[in-house]
Amino acid sequence: MTAADERSILALNVGSSTLKFGLFPLAEGDDALLHGVLDYSGPTTGQLRITDSTGHSESREMVVNRDSAAGELLHYLSNHALFASIQSVGHRLVHGGSRLRQPVRIDGGVRALLEDVIPLAPDHLPAELRAIDEVLRVAPSLVQVACFDTAFHSEMPVVARLFGLPRRLSNSGVVRYGFHGLSYEYVVQELRKRGELPARTIVAHLGNGASIAAILNGACVDTSMGMTPSGGLVMSTRSGDLDPGVMLYLLRSRGFSVSELDDAINREGGLLGISEFSSDVLPGKKIHRGVFRRARRNRGARFHGRDRRAFAGGASADL
């Protein structure tokens, strides 16, 4: 079988400064044919690092930014022997809102629904939608599928989904959605595959964004993040959970604008705000450990204990 005969799926994970990708054969369980990362954290240029199934790696610089990253990656891959094998593109999307709870083929209607969800994840969804648009522009014949970080939590009990707010607000979508669901789903699948999934598991996803979930028999029953990715644990630059009165006080008495409050919660808070010098998990390791342990106790209390705990995310190995 030639490279062009192998049918594959391109998976894209758009972040604030990187586009992570992997090319996987349709045959389930096979390793990636290619994987890598396109780093566009620089002002005008980026670095593409790519590794094939033999372990051979290469890197190159390119003129790229967050908006053009997906298109530039496809242009680069179009010169690769495996490009003809790509049948579809899967996108990790942070939020599907109340109407998109399972993987779905992206068409004009789905694209419009996703546009409506942007207010729930304004720092994430715009870049993810631009990646969808870039793929459509560069390779319009490819099927595109959206997979949502909120989907894993969509069957949480009502008691875990509701905030202490008037019911008319929850009826309009102001509820706990939860995030990092694709990561949690992978952990559950791996533990189940190994025969190591107990009844009660506490799983933590620890990276620049961080959350924790209580999982009962493979299903999420509670999680730390709420309606948006800003809530829950203290994160690199995000505050995590706050007393609602703090936000009212800042707006009423300190004269904060909505934009200033947004910056304080999402870009100036977290480990960066506490330490005043770094958003890195390593310098803030002691703090990160502390907030994780507090959250683990809160979620674990729901189970009256736990049978296993598991970790995912780039920072978990350092704790």
Q: Please say if 149 is a catalytic residue.
A: yes
Structure token digits, residue 308:
């296993």
Active-site residue, from 30, 31, 149, 318? 149
Please write down the long-range contacts of 110-114, taking CB distance under 8 Å and 24 or more positions apart.
110/146, 114/146
Q: Decide: 214 and 302 in contact? Cβ < 8 Å.
A: yes
Distance CA 253, CA 65 (A): 39
Instruction: Extract the runs of DSSP E, i.e. beta strands, from the chain.
Output: 8-14, 18-25, 34-39, 45-52, 57-63, 86-93, 104-105, 143-148, 200-206, 210-216, 219-223, 308-312
Three-state DSSP class for residue 269: coil
Which amino acid, 150?
T
Residue that is written with structure tokens 């890195």 in the block: 280
**Contact partners, residue 301, CB within 8 Å, separation at least 6:** none
Active site residues: 149
